[in-house]
Amino acid sequence: MSKKTRRQVNGTLVAGLMLAAGCSLALGGAVKTATIQLFPELPVTDNFQSLALDPSLVYPDLRSATILTTRVRLQFTPLNGYNANNIRVALVSPIDNPSFGVLEVLGSTYNWTGPGPFVLEIETDALNGLMPPPGVPRPWFLDISNIDGDPPIYSGQWSIDSRFEIDYDPVLVFTTACQPADIADDMGMPHSTTNPNNGVNEGDYNLFFAADGFFEQASMGSMGIGMFCDIADDAGTALPPFDQGGTNGTENNGVNEGDYNCFFNNFFLGCPV
């Protein structure tokens, strides 16, 4: 099973990217592997590669999963006298950890001088952390560029087996919502983390008004259905399991005034005792 994407910028073939299914048996078979393989489709000489991608299209259980480690294999052959010391490869993931999320490889770090080819195989924790849950639209970014020049083009070719292998634990541990306004744990994260959840508090308020919260989701129309601010039908009746909103013919067209009213009608009530 694979998904292939390519783009062109000013007539230049920019990137070929394939996501190939993989599985690694470890810790009782719980750990899986997502493989991102990068390769040019043609032996072009002037390349600038920048892509937004979503490995969870191929690995749905990567959503809300925990990334445990990432193995990197890169093989690069410079062309036309290009100095591979200037190459930069970066993979940015949307993990819920502000201290991590960027895997960066610089040719200068590994002294890539001379004609090559250069081969790098490393293991890193740079992407370790919790992935956002389903419904949170935050893509991955892959960027390959020349750091010494404008435009940031480089000259060279990657081998077909250049890849990132991401080991992840797909087992989800959910905190429990006690009422409709309890949309987050105490840290302000959606209910898909191992953080404590002590009821309705500042965490819920902060998530509701986060940059990707109510106003962002309200702008999405029907695409907002099922997102973490979609807690009620259009009339403001809470969705199951807390009430019968969206059933018996009532409409739920996404995140709107009904969800706003439901949130504040319940926010100050706290959890049932």
- Token pair recorded at residue 225: 């259905």
111 has a pLDDT exceeding 90: yes
- Token pair recorded at residue 154: 């480089």
Q: What per-residue confidence (pLDDT) applies to 12?
A: 25
Proportion of the chain above pLDDT 90, given as a percent:
32
How far is Cα 250 from Cα 255, in angstroms, rounded to an integer?
14
Rounded to an integer, the average pLDDT of 260-273 is: 89
Q: What per-residue confidence (pLDDT) applies to 26?
A: 30
Proportion of the chain above pLDDT 70, given as a percent:
77
How far is Cα 4 from Cα 188, in angstroms, rounded to an integer?
36
- Note the CATH number of domain 2-169: 2.60.120
Q: Answer left, alpha or beta for residue 19, where phi above 0 means left and psi between -120 and 50 means alpha.
A: beta
pLDDT band at 7 (very low <50, low <70, confident <90, very high): very low
pLDDT band at 97 (very low <50, low <70, confident <90, very high): low
Q: Answer left, alpha or beta for residue 54, where phi above 0 means left and psi between -120 and 50 means alpha.
A: beta
Average the pLDDT over each of 23-32, 50-59, 135-144 and give the range with the smallest value: 23-32
266 vs 53, higher pLDDT: 266
22 has a pLDDT exceeding 80: no
Average pLDDT value over all residues in the chain: 78
Q: What per-residue confidence (pLDDT) applies to 210?
A: 92
| Nearest by Cα to 174 from 159, 190, 157 | 190
Q: Answer for the pair 121, 72: CB distance below 8 angstroms, yes or no.
A: yes
Looking at the DSSP assignment, which residues form a beta bridge with residue 146?
87
How is the chain split into domains, by residue range? 2-169, 173-273
pTM of the model: 0.53
